[in-house]
């Protein structure tokens, strides 16, 4: 045994008891008598075969005039010194889990479930497209801030964003052009009457050269959508459909399309991706790019002047029949109109009416199944690793 090992070796508490007996001139039999136990109860402790229990620590404290805590600390120190060395992989797994939702990512089949920590770390680096864990987005403690919107992303949001990127890189779409984008917006507007028409959105976007991906949001990430570019000619729109309502779907989609039209982040790295969290059409304290996208999305969903006029004439006594009539006149599904009016009442009148006519805000995510590239809800998209 090395000198360092000898210095670090912690003796069994029984050795301390023997020293105390010797200092007092007591025999082991004397200690048993003092403690009121048989000598056989002392032997295993003295020989190092049994530890000191809390009850025995209390008894030894009275016998030697030393605190019971001291004996318990001796026992704890000995047990720690003889405990099996912890698996180094524990610390490495803890580091990963503290930064990213590794268990959730494994659950969703983004990673292979493995106890091999080196393989797990390799999968993390491959997922984020890096050769070092020190350069994984979110893991670097001294990353330089560029002032972009994505600088404030949480680790959950980073993971979601890279999943969208991973899937979109394997998609095949037509070549993108700005002319196609203008035609795309006109095509989409014709779909706003019938929720079933949403199944045509992925095809229309792909024909215009836009990669459209739906990835289930991660817990507490609160993501609505994102727009970024794989390169200057390959735009990507990712959505979560976490609210699964017709009004939210169209607002988020048009919001991201405006980022695309304005080429937000086109010539920059993924760190400039426009990740939109908790989109609020009425929010004012936002970057100009977000305000512009909100205005365009709101106008796309319904003519804002017509909605304002309706509110002036009908609020607060807005009958369902009148609201449905407005939807027919504007050629929009009633759920879109209801959603827009709810936002306007919240902003203009500070009134929470989010339960008003909510039955019209129908679910739409099921219309995307089989039509869109969807990852999540128990059905992962297979990708090359």
Q: Residue 288 pLDDT > 80, yes or no?
A: yes
The answer to whether residues 252 and 227 touch, using CB atoms and an 8 Å cutoff, is: no
Burial class from Cβ neighbours inside 10 Å (0-12, 13-18, 19+) for residue 34 reads: middle
C-alpha to C-alpha distance for 34 and 23, rounded to whole angstroms: 16
Range of weakest confidence among 76-85, 134-143, 161-170 = 134-143
**What domains lie within the chain, and their CATH numbers?**
3-82 (1.10.260.40), 89-135 (no CATH), 175-375 (no CATH)
Q: What is the pLDDT at residue 3?
A: 35
Residue 140 — pLDDT band, cuts 50, 70, 90?
A: low
Q: What is the pLDDT at residue 231?
A: 85
What digits encode the pLDDT tens for the residues 68-127? 999 999 999 999 999 888 889 999 999 999 989 999 999 999 999 999 999 999 999 999
State mean pLDDT over 237-242.
96
What digits encode the pLDDT tens for the residues 290-313? 999 999 999 999 999 999 999 999
Residue 268 — pLDDT band, cuts 50, 70, 90?
A: low
Q: What is the pLDDT at residue 4?
A: 37
Q: Residue 380 pLDDT > 70, yes or no?
A: yes
Q: Residue 322 pLDDT > 50, yes or no?
A: yes
Q: Residue 346 pLDDT > 60, yes or no?
A: yes
- Provide the Cα torsion 330, 334, 337, 343; round to 10°: 180
Residues 6+ apart with CB under 8 A from 217: 160, 223, 240, 242
C-alpha to C-alpha distance for 98 and 103, rounded to whole angstroms: 11
pTM of the predicted structure, to 2 decimals:
0.83
Q: Residue 259 pLDDT > 80, yes or no?
A: yes
Q: Residue 145 pLDDT > 80, yes or no?
A: no
Q: What is the pLDDT at residue 1?
A: 40
Residue 287 — pLDDT band, cuts 50, 70, 90?
A: confident
Residue 242 — pLDDT band, cuts 50, 70, 90?
A: very high
Residue 8 — pLDDT band, cuts 50, 70, 90?
A: low
Burial class from Cβ neighbours inside 10 Å (0-12, 13-18, 19+) for residue 95 reads: middle
Q: Which residues pair with 225 in a beta bridge?
A: 239, 276
């Amino acid at each position: 045994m090395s000198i360092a090992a000898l210095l670090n070796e912690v003796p069994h508490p029984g050795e301390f008891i023997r020293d105390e007996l010797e200092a007092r001139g007591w025999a082991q039999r004397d200690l048993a008598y003092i403690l009121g136990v048989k000598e056989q109860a002392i032997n295993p402790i003295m020989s190092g075969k049994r530890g000191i229990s809390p009850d025995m620590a209390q008894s030894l404290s009275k016998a030697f005039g030393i605190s019971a805590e001291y004996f318990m600390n001796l026992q704890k120190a000995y047990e720690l010194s003889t405990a099996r060395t912890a698996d180094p992989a524990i610390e490495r797994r803890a580091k990963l889990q503290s930064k990213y939702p590794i268990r959730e990512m494994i659950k969703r089949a983004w990673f292979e479930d493995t106890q091999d920590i080196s393989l797990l770390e390799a999968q993390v680096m491959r997922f984020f497209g890096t050769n070092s864990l020190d350069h994984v987005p979110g893991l670097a403690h001294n990353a330089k801030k560029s002032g972009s919107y994505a600088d404030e992303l949480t680790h959950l949001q980073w993971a979601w964003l890279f999943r969208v990127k991973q899937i979109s890189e394997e998609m095949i779409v037509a070549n993108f052009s700005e002319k196609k984008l203008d035609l795309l917006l006109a095509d989409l507007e014709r779909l706003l009457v019938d929720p079933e028409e949403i199944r045509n959105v992925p095809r229309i976007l792909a024909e215009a050269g836009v990669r459209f991906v739906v990835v289930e949001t991660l817990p507490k990430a609160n993501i609505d959508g994102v727009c970024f570019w794989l390169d200057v000619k390959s735009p990507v729109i990712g959505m979560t459909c976490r609210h699964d309502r017709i009004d939210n779907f169209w607002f988020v989609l048009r919001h991201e399309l405006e980022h695309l039209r304005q080429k937000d982040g086109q010539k920059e790295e993924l760190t400039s991706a426009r990740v939109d969290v908790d989109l609020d059409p009425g929010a004012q304290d936002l970057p100009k790019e977000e305000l512009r996208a909100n205005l365009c999305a709101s106008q796309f969903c319904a003519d804002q002047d017509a909605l304002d006029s309706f509110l002036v004439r009908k609020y607060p006594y807005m009958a369902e029949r009148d609201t449905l009539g407005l939807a027919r006149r504007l050629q929009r599904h009633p759920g879109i109109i209801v959603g827009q009016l709810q936002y306007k009442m919240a902003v203009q009148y500070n009134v929470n009416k989010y339960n008003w006519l909510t039955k019209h805000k129908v679910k739409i995510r099921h219309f995307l199944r089989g039509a869109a590239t969807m990852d999540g809800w128990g059905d992962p998209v297979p990708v090359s690793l």
